[in-house]
Amino acid sequence: MKLELELKTGKPEEIEADVLAVPVFEDEDVASQEFAVLRSGTDGLIAEVLQSREFRGRPGDFYLVPRPPKLHAKRLLLCGAGRRAQYDADRIRQLMSNGFARWRQVIFKRVALWKRQGVEVDRTACAAVEGLILASYDPEEFKTSDRAFGSSEVTFILGGLGPLRRGRVQHNIERARILAECVNFARHLTNQPGNIVTPAVLAEKAEEVARQGNLKIEVLDEKQMQRIGMHALLGVARGSVAPPRLIVLSYMPASGRAGRKQRKGPLALVGKGVTFDTGGINIKPSQSMEEMKADKAGACAVLGAMRAVAQLKPQREVLAVIPSVENMPSGAAQRPGDVVKSLSGKTIEITNTDAEGRLILADALTYARQLGARELVDIATLTGACVVALGHVCAGLFASDDTLRDRLMQASRRAGEKLWQFPLYDDYKKEIQSDIADMKNSGSRWGGAIYAAKFLQEFVEDTPWAHLDIAGVDLFKDDTSPLKGATGFGVRTLAELCFL
């Protein structure tokens, strides 16, 4: 989407737009100077609607006034902003995405937002642009974000401003636009069904990302993986007619830009790319199995983040390592009880073929270390247990290193993607001890998200490592919401991390 920006001082009634969005608080202080401007600027409309209780300003409340008298804007959209004390960038992003997704079919070429006090100009502008672009992706069809609002060009107007530094806002908005479009890219790819996006197709998409962003790419096929001994990954792939891939993208900062951050050495982003997870021989129940087309959400998040990295150009070298397979039952499929030797040399007893994500990640993490990664962050729809623990709000965070953990938390706050940390005490390790091999790939039921993480930790050795379990946050499952489907969770956190 092409996006022009206009920054406006002056009065609400003077804004020329197809729609003027005004955040309205639940506990609006109707005696304040700020409200007086809005009251007179909207010809008393806001006060009237609030008083009638038709609109209360709660998050998710919207009230559209067509052809408001006295306003230059063609429509006035009152957006519930919740309680004033909780007004922040996340709220703004949400009200813009929810609001505009709802009126997606309408062609809005000029979209305005009235800035409320409490969140600074930059943050308001960026969150609004992100929300607007996220709303432009339509999960009901295989549309790209470019067909937004029936128009590929939108002018975003931010009104209600005092004196400001235009250059900086302009620059930050461009960054917000890139990030949000990369989120849409990841959402779109994650939403693709398993018959369309196979591991080979995922690799083609990665090639496209590499070409557009000037990144280096290497794709290993089955033979190459066999040669180096990636049998943890290959064992999972055996049951499917779709051959596996291991995708490696690399971003190098221009030499002039290499600063202090460059000295940290390459950061590797590792994303689980299971294009469909039936469970294999330990087959899943049919209930909601179709959602397992999104078992590649981690891979898509890493691809989205790399797309952003290529455009935003951090000072640090970044690698993406994406193991991709389809997990199927068949006559050739891996059996429970099989033993495989991973790329690291460690042997694994397969006690559950449905615990496939950790197997392919094990080899990918080892490969990332062999490529010289100095920090590892993996992201995966790894365990149902994580969903039991955290629901659909936070992703699980595991980290072997406190500074990496702190940077991830900081990145996640910037992104508005919530993380919650789990423990990695060694006491948990006995759950994945095998009688016949170095370890087994599944533990008992209670604490399953942690056993998965402890399993992965066996493959990172002493490299600082963090793991994000996004099983509960990869999909937004509200059928009535136009934002349903893949969320692209992780794209912005991972991209932000590359700058910290």
Residues that bind Mn ion (CB under 5 A): 277, 354, 356
Catalytic residue among 91, 93, 296, 358: 358
For residues 126, 129, 132, 138, the Cα torsion angle rounded to the nearest 10 degrees is: -100
* C-beta closer to Zn ion: residue 145 or 240: 240
Rounded CA-CA distance 271/206 in Å is 12
Picked from Mn ion, ligand BES, Zn ion, none, the partner binding residue 384 (CB below 5 to 8 A depending on kind) is ligand BES
Q: Which residue is nearest to Mn ion (CB)?
A: 354
Rounded CA-CA distance 474/489 in Å is 6
∠ CA 147-206-98 to the nearest 5 degrees?
Answer: 35
* C-beta closer to ligand BES: residue 357 or 488: 357
DSSP letter (8 states) at residue 125: H
Q: Is 471 in the site for ligand BES (CB under 6 A)?
A: yes
Q: Count of CB atoms within 10 A of residue 135's CB? A: 26
Instruction: Give residues in contact with Zn ion (CB under 5 A).
Output: 274, 277, 295, 357
| Tokens found for residue 331 | 């006559």
* C-beta closer to Zn ion: residue 57 or 235: 235
Q: Is 384 in the site for ligand BES (CB under 6 A)?
A: yes
| Known active-site residue 454 | no
Q: Is 385 in the site for ligand BES (CB under 6 A)?
A: yes
Q: Under rule CB under 6 A, which residues in 69-98 are in contact with ligand BES?
A: none
Site stretch for ligand BES (CB under 6 A), options 226-234, 352-360, 391-399, 476-484: 352-360
Rounded CA-CA distance 134/179 in Å is 10
Picked from Zn ion, ligand BES, Mn ion, none, the partner binding residue 160 (CB below 5 to 8 A depending on kind) is none
- Quick one: which of 383, 400, 457, 463 contacts ligand BES (CB under 6 A)? 383
* C-beta closer to Zn ion: residue 318 or 452: 452
DSSP labels for 286-304? STTGGGGGGGGHHHHHHHH
Instruction: Reduce the DSSP state of residue 282 to 3 states and report it.
Output: coil
| Tokens found for residue 355 | 């615990």
CB of 354 to Mn ion, least distance (A): 4
| Known active-site residue 413 | no
DSSP labels for 377-424? EEEE---HHHHHHHTTT-EEEEES-HHHHHHHHHHHHHHT--EEE---
Rounded CA-CA distance 405/407 in Å is 5
| Tokens found for residue 107 | 């062609």
Rounded CA-CA distance 328/306 in Å is 29
Q: Is 355 in the site for ligand BES (CB under 6 A)?
A: yes
* C-beta closer to Mn ion: residue 295 or 458: 295
CB of 450 to Mn ion, least distance (A): 17
Judged by CB under 6 A, how many residues of this single chain contact ligand BES?
16
Which amino acid appears at position 22 of this protein? V
Rounded CA-CA distance 155/76 in Å is 16
Q: Which residue is nearest to ligand BES (CB)?
A: 384
CB of 191 to ligand BES, least distance (A): 15
For residues 237 and 328, is the Cβ–Cβ distance under 8 A? no
CB-side neighbour CA atoms (13 Å) of 190: 39
CB of 479 to ligand BES, least distance (A): 17
Catalytic residue among 123, 284, 313, 429: 284
For residues 206 and 319, is the Cβ–Cβ distance under 8 A? no
∠ CA 342-380-245 to the nearest 5 degrees?
Answer: 55
- Quick one: which of 18, 354, 375, 378 contacts ligand BES (CB under 6 A)? 354
For residues 34 and 27, is the Cβ–Cβ distance under 8 A? no
Picked from ligand BES, Zn ion, Mn ion, none, the partner binding residue 61 (CB below 5 to 8 A depending on kind) is none
Q: Beta strands 75-80 and 62-66: pairing type?
A: antiparallel
- Quick one: which of 356, 363, 378, 417 contacts ligand BES (CB under 6 A)? 356
For residues 342 and 231, is the Cβ–Cβ distance under 8 A? yes
CB of 325 to ligand BES, least distance (A): 11
| Tokens found for residue 14 | 């003077």
Picked from Mn ion, Zn ion, ligand BES, none, the partner binding residue 487 (CB below 5 to 8 A depending on kind) is none
Rounded CA-CA distance 415/123 in Å is 11
CB of 331 to ligand BES, least distance (A): 22
Q: Is 295 in the site for ligand BES (CB under 6 A)?
A: yes
Picked from ligand BES, Mn ion, Zn ion, none, the partner binding residue 383 (CB below 5 to 8 A depending on kind) is ligand BES
Q: Under rule CB under 6 A, which residues in 363-382 are in contact with ligand BES?
A: 381-382
Which amino acid appears at position 319 of this protein? L
Rounded CA-CA distance 116/88 in Å is 10
Q: Under rule CB under 6 A, which residues in 260-289 are in contact with ligand BES?
A: 277
Contact map string, positions 438 to 467, toward ligand BES, x by CB under 6 A: ----x-----x-------------------
C-alpha pair distances (Å), 70 with each of 18, 465, 499:
14, 58, 46
* C-beta closer to ligand BES: residue 40 or 352: 352
* C-beta closer to ligand BES: residue 49 or 325: 325
* C-beta closer to ligand BES: residue 35 or 489: 489
DSSP letter (8 states) at residue 175: H
* C-beta closer to ligand BES: residue 465 or 489: 489
Q: Is 298 in the site for ligand BES (CB under 6 A)?
A: no
In the complex, the residues that contact ligand BES under the rule CB under 6 A are: 277, 295, 352, 354-357, 381-385, 387, 442, 448, 471
Which are the catalytic amino acids? 284, 358
